[in-house]
Structure 1
Amino acid sequence: MSDHLKRGNVLWESSRMFLPEHREQLLARRKEKERVEKPILDEQQQEEVNRVISEALVEGCQVTITYYDEGHIYALTGDIHSWDMYAQVLHVRDEDGEMHAIPFDHVVNVEMS
């Protein structure tokens, strides 16, 4: 290999290193690009969500809740522990026994598992 090519690689060798700050910025930028708008449910979809939640509470069935949070859509599988209608919050116990509070207006879909 010629001396010119070796020297050229040495000049750019430092640009291959990423500082932790750079990595964090790249990850934040990638996450920002993946953001989606909050889906808006029509009346029929909202009624279906309410029906499935009520049915799951009565029967004690596991459900998969799809919900929106800060620009992303997540899915959570577990049992609906309670539904606080005044605060509009669903309390869900996941498969690991951990409790999650999901604001009702963030719920996109609920399906029986």
Structure 2
Amino acid sequence: MGKKLEANGLFESSRMMLPEHREAYQAYMREQERRGKPVLDDQEMQRIEQTLIESYNRRMPITVVVFNPFDDEELRGIVTNVNTGLREIKLVRGDEDYSWIKLEEIISVIT
């Protein structure tokens, strides 16, 4: 019993973690994995916009890479609508499956 009272022995001997502490630690670790959005230069933005317009005009499928703080998302489809006021596109991925994507969220476009 004498060793437990020396230095940090009392806390070293009790290795218990409450579920609330575990969840808070996991949330903290997930937050540490968050990354910032890359800054695109004007030339890259013009190339992305040109490819989106080309997909809209020719009805050709493209792959759009959308920014996510944890993992980028790739969406494949055809641009069917361009809303210049809200700066977003409508990407149709199937018969009834579509997404509205803001232009500032797009990192790259692959034909």
TM-score normalised by the chain length of structure 1: 0.69
Change (3 A) 1:23 1:98: farther
4+ runs deviating over 4 angstroms: 21-27
Change (3 A) 1:29 1:41: same
Aligned-partner residue type, residue 61 of structure 2: Q
Structure 2: stretches of 5+ with no match in the other structure: 1-13
Aligned-partner residue type, residue 46 of structure 2: E
* Counterpart for residue 50 of structure 1: 49
Q: Number of aligned pairs?
A: 98
Change (3 A) 1:45 1:26: same
RMSD (Å), alpha carbons:
2.6
TM-score normalised by the chain length of structure 2: 0.70
Q: Return the alpha-carbon distance in structure 2 between the equivalents of residues 37 and 63 of structure 1.
A: 25
Change (3 A) 1:91 1:31: farther
Q: Return the alpha-carbon distance in structure 1 between the equivalents of residues 85 and 107 of structure 2.
A: 19
> What is the Cα deviation at residue 29 of structure 1?
3.7
Question: Match of 1:65, SS?
Answer: strand
Structure 1: stretches of 5+ with no match in the other structure: 1-11
Change (3 A) 1:95 1:36: farther
Question: Match of 1:53, SS?
Answer: helix
* Counterpart for residue 84 of structure 2: 85
**Is 2:103 aligned against 1:104?**
yes
Change (3 A) 1:57 1:22: farther
**Is 2:38 aligned against 1:39?**
yes
Structure with greater helix share of residues: 1
